[in-house]
Structure 1
Amino acid sequence: MTDTRSAELLAEAFEAQRDRLSAVAYRVLGSYADAEDVVQEAWVRLARQDTTIDNLAGWLTTVVGRISLDVLRSRRTRPEAAFGDGLPELVVTADDGGEPAEIVALADSVGLALLVVLDSLGPGERLAFVLHDLFAVPFTEIGQILGKSADATKMIASRARRKVQAAERPRTVAREQRQVADAFRAAVAGGDFEALLRVLDPDVRLTVDIPGEVVVTIGATRVAAGARTVAGTVVRQRAVLVNGRPGYVAWRADGTPLSIISFTVDDGRITAIAIVADPARLASMHLPAPV
């Protein structure tokens, strides 16, 4: 068999694995762009191999896992790279009053809720959970990636699983979350400082993505004061789900998007607010039309 034909067969075999590898990398990393880079790097490493690989699928999964683990660890040293709950590609869908069960099903179907939970795990926990629980990779193979025994890897995955299961038991249903978000919006529109404080957790964290930087504000009083100052800039809003969480898209008078805001609600209070106000980032998103 000629070298050219061998290269063609190798490329075909890799392409047959690409979708699965992309799914693994995306669920580990929570970023389509990063996942694409990881899969491409896996192809580069495969193309450089000069020995026969008996189990190509297993070999590629291991390589993708190792590269993804390196990316996760790198993020820990550059926390600003993980803005947006570890979800660089925000998915924004109209929230037109669907039943909570339907909303939850939608979020689960695209894996957004799970990705939010996974972002709270350490790199090793996240990798072990995704590879074993979602893709049935044996603990012995995952252990080789983590540099740990199969038993130690099993314990890591078990710990991650407990965290995921605990986080997937929301204490506030979707409809109640929307009611809290609506109460926040009404308080902002009415300039009602006391009403804002009632819906904000005392340690609420506000993250605002603006051109060139991410600004973080912590504390209900500071967040409430800032919210009242920007109320007049919003012309039109529409209720949306942002990665499965209640939020709003705001537009200027000329129809260009002004911002996206999403809320994390726990026990009837807002514990975190994320705002995207970077025009370049907003322009790159697929947003529902104004109403």
Structure 2
Amino acid sequence: AHPETPYGQEFSDLVVTPDDDPAPDEQVALADSVGLALLIVLDSLTPSERVAFVLHDMFAVPFHEIGHILGKSTDAAKMIGSRARRKVRATDRQGYAGRQHREVVRAFHHAARGGDFEALLRVLDPNVKLTVDTPDGIVVTLGATEVAAGARMFSGEVGRHRPVLVNGIPGHMSWHPDGKPLSVIAFTVTAKRITAIHIVVDPVKLAAIHLPDPV
């Protein structure tokens, strides 16, 4: 670990909001809502995209018939259907990535609070970078072994803490026992491994961020 020069505005524009992702047992109950989720995605498509996607991908209607319904050529109907399919798949990938990100972050905190060094190494990328914004400047730690050793500080975590969204990405926040903000943590996850962790513990910078209330 070594001091580094400040990196300007990297943490100045953080948007931190509560992460109200449902608990595992609630997720089971939500499994029956897949049909509703698809309807929500379809609702984001244009009328032509919705018709092309539903008729072709769900009911196997040929594109020349879809084109006739839409008043378009067969090639134009194919392009509309392809555009709709890309939107649906992109939405699905984003949802999957968000769930996967949460799972990795939860595994990290479970291992850190339990002091499980081996479990930490499994969830950290070998070249993970930990950046901590402290009152005395920026401190950077590189490598899974070094970061895992430092992460064990969570094993003695006191006060209150909760999952949050940091700029829309699952992260974590902690408060002192008296309710004052202690830290905001943002994670970068790639291929089911944490590749970067950014932590803000500088009280001045924490005070400049609009933060959720402790649970």
1:80 aligns with 2:6: yes
1:287 aligns with 2:211: yes
What's the counterpart of residue 234 of structure 1?
158
Q: Which amino acid aligns with 1:229?
A: M
Moved over 2 A (4+): 78-84, 169-172
189, 192, 197: which is aligned to 2:116? 192
Q: Secondary structure at the match of 2:212?
A: coil
92, 96, 99: which is aligned to 2:20? 96
Instruction: After TM superposition, list the pairs within 5 Å mapping 1:49-88 onto structure 2.
Output: 80-82=6-8, 84=10, 88=12
Q: Secondary structure at the match of 2:7?
A: helix
Q: Secondary structure at the match of 2:178?
A: coil
Q: Distance in 2 between matches of 1:189 and 1:280?
A: 26
Cα distance change, pair 171–286 in 1 and its aligned pair in 2 (3 A): closer
Q: Secondary structure at the match of 2:109?
A: helix
Cα distance change, pair 90–222 in 1 and its aligned pair in 2 (3 A): same
What's the counterpart of residue 40 of structure 1?
none
Instruction: After TM superposition, list the pairs within 5 Å mapping 1:166-177 onto structure 2.
Output: 173-177=97-101
Q: Which has the higher helix share?
A: 1
Q: CA deviation at 1:235?
A: 2.0
Q: Secondary structure at the match of 2:213?
A: coil
Q: Secondary structure at the match of 1:197?
A: helix
Q: Distance in 2 between matches of 1:90 and 1:288?
A: 12
What's the counterpart of residue 224 of structure 1?
148
Q: CA deviation at 1:243?
A: 1.3
Contact 1:172 1:267 survives alignment (8 Å): no
Unaligned runs of 5+ in 2: 28-36, 38-92
Q: Secondary structure at the match of 1:80?
A: coil
RMSD of aligned Cα (Å)? 2.6
Instruction: After TM superposition, list the pairs within 5 Å mapping 1:263-282 onto structure 2.
Output: 263-282=187-206
With structure 1 as the length reference, what TM-score do the two structures score? 0.46
206, 210, 213: which is aligned to 2:130? 206
Q: Distance in 2 between matches of 1:260 and 1:217?
A: 17
What's the counterpart of residue 44 of structure 1?
none
Unaligned runs of 5+ in 1: 1-77, 102-168
Q: CA deviation at 1:278?
A: 0.2
Cα distance change, pair 284–229 in 1 and its aligned pair in 2 (3 A): same
Give the aligned length: 145
Q: Which amino acid aligns with 2:119?
A: A
Q: CA deviation at 1:211?
A: 0.6
Q: Distance in 2 between matches of 1:203 and 1:171?
A: 26
1:215 aligns with 2:139: yes
Q: Distance in 1 between matches of 2:136 and 2:171?
A: 23
Q: CA deviation at 1:233?
A: 3.6
Q: Distance in 2 between matches of 1:233 and 1:285?
A: 22
Q: CA deviation at 1:282?
A: 0.8
Q: Which has the higher strand share?
A: 2
Question: What fraction of aligned residue pairs are identical, expressed as a percent?
Answer: 57
Q: CA deviation at 1:192?
A: 0.3
Cα distance change, pair 178–230 in 1 and its aligned pair in 2 (3 A): closer
